[in-house]
């Protein structure tokens, strides 16, 4: 009988499956590092995993506590600095990056700065950090949202997705052609972006979740893929890896940090409604 798994494990494993062999991937603390470690161990042995702080080609031993936590960066091939990591991204050497989301609109534009009015906010968030740079210049961005919300208009525009949709991102001349968000992973399903309109499209629902459950969270007429299916269940090998690498308590704690800005954001959003 196949093993039971938690929602956190499903999210990690679904994200890990997005990493392809041979890709150069910038990871963040929490879900991305666990997903990257799993991908390299199980299906993408030649992926190059990198931390924003400048540690390259790692094989993490344990989940890091911060982006410069060398304790977890077993087997690194090269160490540089933050400036070099950013310029590496600008020059097109990064295939994939991961970003957490607090607010997102239909074209994948992000807010991780403030909920509510900038000067009288309901909640201050961590801000951009490297997010705006990475989503601008990485070839693909994987977005994760655990405690955030879908909105028609962002309270603050932190990081560019597909701007106004269509070819507006490429036409701006500010970003490499073809770059941008590839996937949004939430606690209810997986969204991708229409090839032409660049509008968000629901492509997978997690087990036990209905389309109507997801529509209730979204303030626009959500597009649903005609071949909508259920998220593929994790294999026993994938579940075993996650539990060895990041036991449930640690995973949950780090997911709160990385994905949703935790329960505090949910409370702030609730107060504003």
The arithmetic mean of pLDDT across residues 256-272, rounded, is 42
Q: Is residue 31 part of a domain?
A: yes
CB atoms closer than 10 angstroms to residue 130: 18
Compute the distance between CA of residue 6 and CA of residue 28 in angstroms, rounded to an integer. 21
For residue 177, the domain's CATH number is 3.40.1080.10
d(CA 156, CA 178): 25
Is residue 1 very low, low, confident or very high in pLDDT (cuts 50, 70, 90)?
low
Kindly state whether residue 15 falls inside one of the protein's structural domains: yes
**220 is a domain residue:** yes
Please give the residue range of the domain that contains residue 265: 7-271
Tell me what pLDDT residue 74 has: 82
Q: Which residue has the higher pLDDT, 189 or 55?
A: 189
Would you say residue 19 lies in a domain? yes
Assign 248 a pLDDT band (cuts: 50, 70, 90): low
Separation CA 205–CA 57 (nearest Å): 33
In a domain, 1, yes or no: no
Residue 178 backbone phi and psi in degrees, to 5: 85, -5
pLDDT for residue 235 is more than 60: yes
- How would you label 36-72 residue by residue, b for 16+ Cβ within 10 Å and e otherwise? bbbbbbbebeebbbbbbbbbbbbbbebbbeebebeeb
Average pLDDT over residues 246-267: 48
Q: At 205, which helix (H) or strand (E)?
A: strand 200-205
Greater model confidence, 85 or 19? 19
Q: 103 falls in which pLDDT band (50, 70, 90)?
A: very high
User: What confidence tens digit (pLDDT) does each residue in 134-173 have?
Assistant: 999 999 999 999 889 999 999 999 999 999 999 999 999 9
**pLDDT tens profile 42-80:** 999 999 999 988 889 999 888 888 888 877 778 888 888
> Catalytic amino acids?
52
Report yes or no on 161 lying in a domain. Answer: yes
Q: Classify residue 2: in a domain, yes or no.
A: no
Q: How many domains does the chain have?
A: 1
- Is 110 in contact with 153 (CB distance < 8 Å)? no
């Amino acid at each position: 009988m196949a093993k039971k798994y938690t929602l956190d494990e499903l999210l990690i494993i679904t994200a890990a499956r997005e990493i392809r062999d041979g890709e150069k991937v910038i990871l963040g603390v929490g879900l991305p590092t666990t997903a990257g470690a799993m991908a390299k161990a199980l299906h993408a042995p030649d992926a190059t995993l990198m931390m924003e702080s400048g540690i390259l080609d790692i094989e993490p031993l344990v989940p890091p506590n911060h982006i410069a936590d060398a304790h977890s960066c077993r087997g690194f091939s090269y160490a540089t600095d933050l400036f070099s990591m950013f310029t590496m991204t600008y020059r097109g050497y990064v295939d994939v990056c991961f970003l957490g989301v607090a607010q997102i609109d239909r074209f994948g534009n992000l807010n991780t700065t403030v909920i509510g009015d900038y000067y009288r906010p309901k909640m201050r968030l961590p801000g951009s950090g490297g997010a705006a740079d990475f989503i601008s210049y990485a070839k693909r961005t994987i977005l994760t949202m655990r405690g955030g919300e879908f909105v028609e208009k962002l309270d603050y525009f932190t990081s560019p997705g597909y701007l106004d949709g269509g070819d507006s991102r490429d036409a701006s001349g500010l970003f490499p052609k073809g770059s941008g968000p590839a996937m949004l992973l939430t606690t209810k399903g997986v969204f991708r972006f229409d090839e032409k309109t660049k509008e968000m499209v629901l492509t997978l629902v997690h087990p036990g979740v209905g389309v109507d459950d997801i529509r209730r969270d979204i303030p626009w007429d959500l597009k649903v893929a005609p071949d909508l299916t259920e998220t593929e269940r994790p294999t026993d090998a994938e579940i075993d890896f996650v539990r060895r690498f990041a036991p449930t308590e640690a995973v949950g704690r780090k997911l709160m940090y990385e994905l949703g800005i935790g329960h505090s954001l949910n409370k702030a959003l609730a107060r504003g409604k």
